[in-house]
Chains A and B, each alone.
Chain A
Amino acid sequence: MTAMTEESTIQDLETLVNPVEDFLRMERMPHIWCPGCGIGTTVNCFAHALEASGLDLQKVAIVSGIGCTGRVSGYMKLDSFHTTHGRAIPFATGLKLANPELKVVVYSGDGDLTAIGGNHFIHAARRNVNLTVILINNFIYGMTGGQVAPTTPIGATASTTPYGNYEQTFNLPYLAESCGAVYVARWTSYHVRHTAKAMKDALLKDGFSFVEILSPCPTLFSRRNKLGDGLDQMKYYKESSEIKNDANTKDVGLTLQGKIICGTFVNTNKPTYLQTYNEFMTKKLGDRFTPYKG
């Protein structure tokens, strides 16, 4: 390479703009995530999903709980709320019901949403609150150092299961569907286009929509379980994933390094919490009812 071309390459790099920059708080970069972590990849997908959705970004709010994925809200150039551990969904419920014009997205991790926040997940799905829940599943608690989670596969080692996990693993699509979610999909951070598409579909869905995205944690899950680095996990996702749209969610449970069933499992329509409320009260109270518009 001549000195001249080298110089022009450097100039090109300097003028290159991250295509999703408009969606990020660039003044907060660099982010906190480790090399090989998949959360950033999902954020990229999310930005593309927002763009493809055609939603007015001034009317999109993002709510996170606590943890590595909990930091997503703080990096998105949206109205963003970084709440308490496990409680993103009830915060988002209040936000959405207060201003139904908003598209409210909950973006958080597996421990946050299904352990400490599990009860809220269940009830928001049951009520069919109009929320999009994006759950990044890295199989452990990353921020606190790799402790066992309800999503940790049986046999996997975590810092609080030094001899391996012996507790039953949550099958999250099955949980979401059985509680009433109208849209349920699972992808991995390898499937960037599918993920972005699923996020877009979820954003445009009325009701409780749920997207689970498997994502490597090379620092605390892969290393401890001798599964290689982030790239090795991507290879695993690539080789062991099978796309099965409309699969019975009972059959999509995950095992350690086992087969990953991906796809859109549920896509149905039901009146949202607010639609139900307004219709029910109109029927019951007639003219006495003041329809709730936020």
Chain B
Amino acid sequence: MAADPKGIQSGAYFIDGDHACAEGAIAAGCRFVAGYPITPSTEVVERIAERFPLIGGMFIQMEDEIASSIAIQGAVWGGKKAMTVTSGPGFSLMMEHIGLAAMTETPCVFVDVQRGGPSTGLPTLPGQADMMQARWGSHGDYGIIALCPNSPQESFDLAIKAFNLAETYRVPVLLMLDECVGHMTERVVIPPAEEIEVVERKYFAGPREELLLFQPDSRGVPPMVKAGDGYNIHVTGLTHDERGYPVMTPAAQEKLVRRLVDKIRLNADAIVETREDGVEGADIVVVSFGITSRVAIPAIERARAEGMKVGHLRLITAWPFPAKRIRELSSRVGCFVVPEINYGQMVREVERCVAGRTKVERVSHGGGSVHDPKDIYAKLAGCLKG
């Protein structure tokens, strides 16, 4: 359905990725945000703090990121669409609650504006080294969705998509910006409300005795209920049955956790989104995401100008990873080149899918700046030799 026009400031703006992210969340219907200040993500909550009193939303600056990441889950069970926003160190603190959201199937959005790490690292400078943490950071097995915008416009668009996916799959969705995307200022077009597609929460409407809060539909996704609606729901982080009651058995674990993993894995075709440019017929395919996907373009263009057949596959969804597409391409591409601002994270996924069928080259960068396109070009120029 179309977005609620109340919060939407349709028009063309010159704003940064953090502000665009805030506007995307508002457009998606988010009306509860809990956060704790951390560079380079703070502008998201600053804009929310300014906008929410005008449109009936609730922003609360909590005492830390642990509190923020669970306050949003309380808010979701109270009936709100909710989000928290952070960067590296705060993201680390939130890990337990990504697991809680996955386990209790609480639809919510975590924004991580990545900076250089580990630890305090480079607070004001870019990194892309939280990608594996986004996927595996909480203990135990579960599935999540992670999206990677590469511009302020996409920060707006993918914030909406993040909320829509969270509601569609009852899952936490991670919006993985990086400092460059968060702080770069560009034209952002906010469409009229009626042109913005928003997925509303699917509430159970049947009688109390028929409710099974954790009974999946054909896609593996159960219906939602909110507190106060008379269903006497129970929600626990313990392994539970369809009613939500704790069951401490291997059989219950197998049934629940397998479903939590399969819910994303088996719906990957519907969730995965990539952008391709010149991939068909290419000898070399650059796989990139976030700001690095833009830094790679001059390198790709130079290589093409010199006659090389170079394609570009950009990850919009880092998780689930477009495994099928990479596998398919691996039988006919001479080399994958994976530039990213870390020492090798998403490249491991490429290597896993390629499984030795062709070459995979990394272009690693420790963070603090983007790549020099020359380094990516050098890899393109050299990767098919020898």
Residues of A at the B interface (CB closer than 8 Å) are: 25, 27-28, 58-59, 61, 63, 73-74, 77-84, 87, 90-99, 101-102, 119-120, 122-123, 281, 285, 288-294
Contacts and interface: CB of A to CB of B under 8 A. Distances in A.
A132 B322 CA distance: 47
A291 B96 CA distance: 33
A74 B236 contact: yes
B231 interface: yes
Given A59-B228, A98-B79, 19 more contacts: A58-B228, A74-B234, A74-B245, A79-B231, A80-B234, A81-B227, A84-B70, A90-B63, A90-B70, A93-B60, A93-B62, A93-B74, A94-B32, A94-B71, A99-B78, A99-B226, A102-B78, A102-B227, A293-B56
B81 to A, nearest CB: 10
Given A79-B231, A123-B63, A98 B58 contact: yes
B54 A285 contact: yes
B67 A87 contact: yes
B21 interface: no
A87 B53 contact: no
A288 B50 CA distance: 12
14 contacts: A58-B230, A74-B245, A79-B227, A79-B228, A81-B234, A82-B234, A82-B238, A82-B246, A83-B237, A94-B82, A98-B77, A120-B67, A123-B63, A288-B53
B63 A94 contact: no
A289 B58 CA distance: 12
A81 B58 CA distance: 21
A90 B96 CA distance: 14
Nearest to A90: B67
B78 A294 contact: yes
Nearest to B227: A79
Contact of A102 (B73, B228, B237): B228
Nearest to A63: B74
Contact of A82 (B55, B74, B76, B237): B237
B226 A289 contact: no
A79 B62 CA distance: 24
Contacts of A292: 53, 56-58
Nearest to B78: A98
Contacts of A120: 63, 67
Given A58-B228, A61-B228, A87-B70, A98 B234 contact: no
Interface in B219-245: 226-238, 245
A21 to B, nearest CB: 14
Interface centre among A73, A96, A97 (most CB of B within 10 A): A97
A90 B227 CA distance: 16
Contacts of A94: 32, 34, 70-76, 78, 82
A92 B73 CA distance: 9
B186 to A, nearest CB: 28
A90 B62 contact: yes
A252 B59 CA distance: 37
A255 B96 CA distance: 35
At the interface, is chain B mostly helix, strand, loop or mixed?
mixed
Contacts of B76: 94, 98
Across the A-B interface, give the 8 residue pairs with the lowest CB-CB distance, nearest first. Answer: A98-B78, A94-B74, A94-B71, A95-B74, A90-B67, A82-B236, A94-B75, A99-B78
Contacts of B97: 84, 87
Contact of B96 (A61, A84, A101, A102): A84
Contacts of A77: 232
B73 A99 contact: no
A61 B236 contact: no
Contacts of B100: 83-84
Given A84-B100, A84-B237, A99-B228, A289 B34 contact: no
Contacts of A97: 32, 58, 60, 71, 75, 78
A84 B237 CA distance: 7
B232 to A, nearest CB: 5
Contacts of A289: 53-54
A59 B228 CA distance: 5
Contacts of B74: 63, 81, 90-96, 98
Given A95-B74, A98-B58, A98-B82, A74 B67 contact: no
Contacts of A290: 53-56
A119 B79 contact: no
B19 interface: no
Interface string B63-101: 110111011111111111010000000000000110010
Nearest to B230: A58
A282 B54 CA distance: 10
Contacts of B232: 58, 77-80
Nearest to A102: B228
A288 B245 contact: no
A96 B77 CA distance: 10
B235 A80 contact: yes
Contacts of B58: 97-98, 292
B233 A79 contact: yes
Contacts of B72: 94
Contact of A98 (B32, B64, B231, B233): B32
Nearest to A57: B232
B235 A82 contact: yes
B249 to A, nearest CB: 15
A238 to B, nearest CB: 35
